[in-house]
Amino acid sequence: MNAASHPVDSVVNAMTVDVEDYFQVSAFEKCIRREDWPQWPVRVEDNTRRVLELFGRNDVHATFFVLGWVAERFPALVRDISAAGHEVASHGYGHERVTTMTREEFRHSIVHSRKLLEDLTGTAVLGYRAPSYSIVPGTLWAHEELREAGYRYSSSIVPLHHDLYGMPDAPRFAFVAEPSGLLEIPVTTVQRWGRNWPCGGGGYFRLLPYALFKRGLHRVNRHEQSSGVFYFHPWEIDPQQPRVPGVTLKNRVRHYLNLQRTVPRLEQLMRDFRFDRMDRIFLADGHADYPSVALQAAELCAN
């Protein structure tokens, strides 16, 4: 990492990538059935390799949350991600939201995907991110399953109001979720005017002015002295991806608007801030410095 181009006192943030294809997103699940996935052109390998090139040009290492579905079909891609010095973590197997799964189905997904990734990379998979951030008040049992399966951390909560996900009353920064003892690392938000606002990437990064993200992340780093967690998807750097018919206007805007802005904005973000892998930022000193939170009791009472 070339720290010389950044402020000397800047905090290091986590750069993360959710490795899935455009036709697998939750916003399209009413238009594309899972059994129809083979009918759609696969673009995740080429797009992820473009992401690797982007990080290489900017001397950034990141955490890639990879679907088991992708790992089975593109094993060389997973090996290349690891060989380039990035952390490989799990995004589950087939992009099933935790809210749609039984506990047994979830257990199978996280165990199977972890083994796939570990067999390919030869290194332990420590992290997990739920598809569509679907660890919510009704699925907090997932933390216990993740801990039992050998994971060290999850990054599956966004402390925001959103129609598809969100736990607005959850802690904004890393905490140990009790009673599981698993480290949960929320995607970054900034707190202003009594509520949390998005500052961690995704569609917001394309739809909102870059200046808002820069100001928000500076506030988190400089005023709160905390590391941020940023994420995006490989399909977000692909303006030429196929257009899915039958998608609602809201989901068309969320998915397709300003795709051409993603790469230049990412380039600017990596010039303005320092980034590294999740494990090197949050696991280096164990869990000693993170507060323990009985999230289930607090969240279920709040909802």
pLDDT tens, residue by residue, 93-127: 999 999 999 999 999 999 999 999 999 999 999 99
Q: Give pTM, 2 decimals.
A: 0.93
Mean pLDDT of 34-61: 98
Domain boundaries, the chain: 3-302
Q: What is the CB-side half-sphere exposure of residue 184 using CA atoms within 13 A?
A: 32
Q: Are 102 and 139 in contact (CB under 8 A)?
A: no
Mean pLDDT, to the nearest integer, of 146-170? 89
In 3D, which of 211, 213, 163, 161 has the Cα closest to residue 188? 213
pLDDT at 173 exceeding the cut of 80: yes
* Alpha-carbon span 159 to 223, nearest angstrom: 19
Taking the C-alpha atoms of residue 248 and residue 113, their distance in angstroms, rounded to an integer, is 31
CA angle, 46 as apex, 85 and 22 as ends, to 5°?
110
Cα dist. 9→180, 224, 278 in Å? 35, 13, 19
Average pLDDT over residues 5-13: 65
**What secondary structure letter does DSSP report for 102?**
-
User: How would you class 57 by CB atoms within 10 Å of its CB: exposed for 0-12, middle for 13-18, buried for 19 or more?
Assistant: exposed
**Owner of token pair 């079909």:** 73
Q: Using CA atoms, how far apart are residues 270 and 262, in angstroms rounded to an integer?
A: 12
| Peptide bond between residue 186 and the one before it cis (omega within 30 degrees of 0) | no
Longest dimension (CA), the chain: 51
Please determine, for residue 266, whether its predicted confidence score (pLDDT) is greater than 80.
yes
**3-302: CATH, from 3.50.50.60, 3.20.20.370, 2.60.120.10, 3.40.630.10:** 3.20.20.370
Comparing 63-67, 186-190, 298-302, the range with the smallest average pLDDT is 298-302
HSE-CB at 185 with a 13 A cutoff on CA atoms is 29
CB 93 within 8 A of CB 68: yes
Please choose, from the candidates 130, 180, 191, the residue with its C-alpha nearest in 3D space to the C-alpha of residue 156. 130
Instruction: Supply the mean pLDDT for the chain.
Output: 92
